[in-house]
Amino acid sequence: MFRRAPLPPPPPPAHLRDWPDRESLLAERAAAMTELQRRGLSLVRMLRLWSLGLGAGLGWVLFSLGLGHFEDRTADYITGLVELGLALVVLVPAVIGAGFGVAKDRAVRERLDAWAELAPDPGSDHGLRAGTRSGVWLGMSVALCVIGLGLALTGGGQPDSAGLGEVAYLVGIGVIALVIGVLGALRVVLHQRWAGHVLSPAPERGRGGAHR
Protein backbone atom coordinates (compact mmCIF):
# COMPACT_ATOMS: atom_id res chain seq x y z
CA MET A 1 0.00 0.00 0.00
CA PHE A 2 1.37 3.38 -1.06
CA ARG A 3 1.50 6.20 1.46
CA ARG A 4 2.06 9.85 0.70
CA ALA A 5 5.09 11.60 2.09
CA PRO A 6 4.40 13.65 5.24
CA LEU A 7 3.93 17.39 5.05
CA PRO A 8 7.07 19.54 5.11
CA PRO A 9 7.86 20.28 8.77
CA PRO A 10 7.58 23.77 10.25
CA PRO A 11 10.78 25.82 10.51
CA PRO A 12 13.04 24.91 13.45
CA PRO A 13 12.92 26.97 16.65
CA ALA A 14 14.94 30.18 16.64
CA HIS A 15 17.78 28.74 18.74
CA LEU A 16 18.23 25.80 16.35
CA ARG A 17 18.30 27.73 13.09
CA ASP A 18 21.69 27.41 11.41
CA TRP A 19 21.25 28.66 7.85
CA PRO A 20 24.65 29.93 6.67
CA ASP A 21 23.16 32.93 4.88
CA ARG A 22 19.89 34.58 3.87
CA GLU A 23 19.90 32.90 0.46
CA SER A 24 19.91 29.44 2.07
CA LEU A 25 17.06 30.42 4.37
CA LEU A 26 14.96 31.76 1.48
CA ALA A 27 15.66 28.68 -0.63
CA GLU A 28 14.44 26.30 2.07
CA ARG A 29 11.52 28.60 2.84
CA ALA A 30 10.47 28.67 -0.82
CA ALA A 31 10.76 24.87 -1.16
CA ALA A 32 8.67 24.19 1.94
CA MET A 33 5.98 26.76 1.10
CA THR A 34 5.72 25.62 -2.52
CA GLU A 35 5.17 22.01 -1.44
CA LEU A 36 2.65 23.00 1.23
CA GLN A 37 0.69 25.14 -1.21
CA ARG A 38 0.75 22.38 -3.82
CA ARG A 39 -0.46 19.79 -1.32
CA GLY A 40 -3.23 22.09 -0.13
CA LEU A 41 -4.74 22.69 -3.59
CA SER A 42 -3.66 19.58 -5.50
CA LEU A 43 -5.85 17.52 -7.81
CA VAL A 44 -5.35 14.58 -5.46
CA ARG A 45 -6.85 16.57 -2.58
CA MET A 46 -9.86 17.43 -4.72
CA LEU A 47 -10.35 13.79 -5.72
CA ARG A 48 -10.08 12.73 -2.08
CA LEU A 49 -12.66 15.30 -1.04
CA TRP A 50 -15.03 14.21 -3.77
CA SER A 51 -14.46 10.54 -2.95
CA LEU A 52 -15.62 11.28 0.59
CA GLY A 53 -18.73 12.82 -0.93
CA LEU A 54 -19.29 9.71 -3.04
CA GLY A 55 -18.88 7.52 0.03
CA ALA A 56 -21.35 9.63 1.97
CA GLY A 57 -23.72 9.53 -1.02
CA LEU A 58 -23.57 5.73 -1.13
CA GLY A 59 -24.29 5.61 2.58
CA TRP A 60 -27.26 7.92 2.14
CA VAL A 61 -28.64 5.79 -0.70
CA LEU A 62 -28.60 2.80 1.66
CA PHE A 63 -30.22 4.91 4.37
CA SER A 64 -32.98 6.02 1.97
CA LEU A 65 -33.62 2.45 0.88
CA GLY A 66 -33.84 1.41 4.52
CA LEU A 67 -36.40 4.11 5.24
CA GLY A 68 -38.42 2.95 2.26
CA HIS A 69 -38.94 -0.45 3.90
CA PHE A 70 -40.74 1.11 6.87
CA GLU A 71 -43.38 3.04 4.91
CA ASP A 72 -46.10 0.37 5.00
CA ARG A 73 -47.14 -2.51 7.21
CA THR A 74 -46.12 -5.15 4.68
CA ALA A 75 -42.54 -3.87 4.57
CA ASP A 76 -39.51 -6.11 4.95
CA TYR A 77 -38.28 -4.69 8.24
CA ILE A 78 -35.28 -6.99 8.47
CA THR A 79 -33.96 -5.83 5.11
CA GLY A 80 -34.62 -2.24 6.15
CA LEU A 81 -32.64 -2.65 9.35
CA VAL A 82 -29.76 -4.25 7.47
CA GLU A 83 -29.67 -1.38 4.99
CA LEU A 84 -29.76 1.20 7.79
CA GLY A 85 -26.88 -0.59 9.50
CA LEU A 86 -24.85 -0.66 6.28
CA ALA A 87 -25.61 3.03 5.81
CA LEU A 88 -23.99 3.81 9.15
CA VAL A 89 -20.98 1.66 8.28
CA VAL A 90 -20.44 3.73 5.12
CA LEU A 91 -21.45 7.17 6.42
CA VAL A 92 -19.38 7.23 9.61
CA PRO A 93 -15.97 6.74 7.90
CA ALA A 94 -16.88 9.43 5.34
CA VAL A 95 -17.68 11.92 8.10
CA ILE A 96 -14.51 11.04 10.00
CA GLY A 97 -12.48 11.39 6.80
CA ALA A 98 -13.93 14.85 6.21
CA GLY A 99 -12.93 15.81 9.74
CA PHE A 100 -9.36 14.64 9.17
CA GLY A 101 -9.29 16.63 5.92
CA VAL A 102 -10.30 19.83 7.72
CA ALA A 103 -7.63 19.20 10.37
CA LYS A 104 -4.98 18.66 7.68
CA ASP A 105 -5.98 21.90 5.94
CA ARG A 106 -5.49 23.72 9.22
CA ALA A 107 -2.06 22.13 9.69
CA VAL A 108 -1.04 23.22 6.17
CA ARG A 109 -2.09 26.83 6.85
CA GLU A 110 -0.28 26.90 10.20
CA ARG A 111 2.97 25.68 8.61
CA LEU A 112 2.61 28.14 5.76
CA ASP A 113 2.22 30.92 8.34
CA ALA A 114 5.30 29.74 10.23
CA TRP A 115 7.47 29.72 7.10
CA ALA A 116 6.09 33.02 5.82
CA GLU A 117 7.03 34.76 9.08
CA LEU A 118 10.73 33.91 8.70
CA ALA A 119 11.58 36.55 6.12
CA PRO A 120 9.95 38.45 3.25
CA ASP A 121 10.54 37.12 -0.27
CA PRO A 122 8.25 38.93 -2.76
CA GLY A 123 9.65 37.23 -5.85
CA SER A 124 9.00 33.72 -4.56
CA ASP A 125 5.79 34.49 -2.68
CA HIS A 126 3.93 35.80 -5.71
CA GLY A 127 3.74 32.32 -7.25
CA LEU A 128 2.21 30.86 -4.07
CA ARG A 129 -1.10 32.57 -4.72
CA ALA A 130 -1.95 29.70 -7.13
CA GLY A 131 -4.42 31.73 -9.15
CA THR A 132 -5.05 29.13 -11.87
CA ARG A 133 -5.30 26.20 -9.47
CA SER A 134 -7.58 28.17 -7.17
CA GLY A 135 -9.79 29.06 -10.13
CA VAL A 136 -10.19 25.39 -11.07
CA TRP A 137 -10.99 24.44 -7.47
CA LEU A 138 -13.51 27.26 -7.13
CA GLY A 139 -15.21 26.58 -10.46
CA MET A 140 -15.65 22.87 -9.75
CA SER A 141 -16.82 23.54 -6.21
CA VAL A 142 -19.40 26.14 -7.26
CA ALA A 143 -20.73 23.77 -9.94
CA LEU A 144 -21.13 21.05 -7.30
CA CYS A 145 -22.91 23.49 -5.00
CA VAL A 146 -25.39 24.39 -7.76
CA ILE A 147 -26.08 20.73 -8.53
CA GLY A 148 -26.50 19.91 -4.84
CA LEU A 149 -28.85 22.83 -4.23
CA GLY A 150 -30.93 21.85 -7.26
CA LEU A 151 -31.27 18.25 -6.05
CA ALA A 152 -32.18 19.32 -2.52
CA LEU A 153 -34.85 21.73 -3.78
CA THR A 154 -36.21 19.10 -6.14
CA GLY A 155 -36.48 16.60 -3.31
CA GLY A 156 -38.14 19.13 -1.02
CA GLY A 157 -40.70 19.95 -3.74
CA GLN A 158 -41.84 16.36 -4.30
CA PRO A 159 -45.61 15.78 -4.26
CA ASP A 160 -47.32 14.23 -1.25
CA SER A 161 -47.59 10.95 -3.14
CA ALA A 162 -43.83 10.58 -3.18
CA GLY A 163 -42.44 8.10 -0.70
CA LEU A 164 -40.34 9.09 2.31
CA GLY A 165 -37.35 7.19 0.94
CA GLU A 166 -37.49 9.03 -2.39
CA VAL A 167 -37.69 12.45 -0.75
CA ALA A 168 -34.90 11.60 1.71
CA TYR A 169 -32.75 10.32 -1.16
CA LEU A 170 -32.96 13.50 -3.25
CA VAL A 171 -32.64 15.92 -0.33
CA GLY A 172 -29.78 13.98 1.27
CA ILE A 173 -27.76 13.58 -1.92
CA GLY A 174 -28.27 17.26 -2.65
CA VAL A 175 -27.13 18.32 0.79
CA ILE A 176 -24.04 16.08 0.60
CA ALA A 177 -23.06 17.54 -2.78
CA LEU A 178 -23.66 21.05 -1.43
CA VAL A 179 -21.48 20.42 1.64
CA ILE A 180 -18.62 18.99 -0.44
CA GLY A 181 -18.84 21.97 -2.78
CA VAL A 182 -18.82 24.42 0.11
CA LEU A 183 -15.78 22.71 1.67
CA GLY A 184 -13.91 22.98 -1.63
CA ALA A 185 -14.85 26.63 -2.13
CA LEU A 186 -13.97 27.43 1.47
CA ARG A 187 -10.49 25.98 0.97
CA VAL A 188 -9.92 28.37 -1.95
CA VAL A 189 -11.32 31.37 -0.10
CA LEU A 190 -9.15 30.70 2.96
CA HIS A 191 -6.05 30.26 0.81
CA GLN A 192 -6.62 33.51 -1.06
CA ARG A 193 -7.41 35.32 2.17
CA TRP A 194 -4.19 33.96 3.64
CA ALA A 195 -2.27 35.02 0.54
CA GLY A 196 -3.62 38.55 0.77
CA HIS A 197 -2.73 38.97 4.44
CA VAL A 198 0.48 36.98 4.87
CA LEU A 199 2.41 36.80 1.62
CA SER A 200 4.76 39.58 0.63
CA PRO A 201 3.29 41.92 -1.99
CA ALA A 202 4.33 41.20 -5.54
CA PRO A 203 6.96 43.62 -6.84
CA GLU A 204 5.36 46.45 -8.78
CA ARG A 205 6.49 47.13 -12.31
CA GLY A 206 7.45 50.62 -13.29
CA ARG A 207 4.85 52.44 -15.33
CA GLY A 208 7.16 55.03 -16.82
CA GLY A 209 5.81 57.91 -14.84
CA ALA A 210 5.58 59.36 -11.36
CA HIS A 211 2.61 58.54 -9.15
CA ARG A 212 0.65 61.34 -7.71
In 10 A of CB 158, how many CB atoms? 14
- Amino acid making up residue 34: T
What local confidence, expressed as pLDDT, does residue 190 receive?
A: 87
Predicted confidence band of residue 58 (pLDDT cuts 50, 70, 90): very high
Across the range 118-130, mean pLDDT stands at 82
Does 36 or 67 have the greater pLDDT score? 36
What local confidence, expressed as pLDDT, does residue 177 receive?
A: 94
**Is the pLDDT confidence value at 135 over 80?**
yes
pTM of the model: 0.80
Q: Rounded CA gap, 157 and 78, in Å?
A: 30
Three-class DSSP category at 2: coil
Does 203 or 151 have the greater pLDDT score? 151
Q: Name the residue among 64, 86, 87, 67 with its Cα closest to residue 76.
A: 67
Q: Rounded CA gap, 118 and 112, in Å?
A: 10
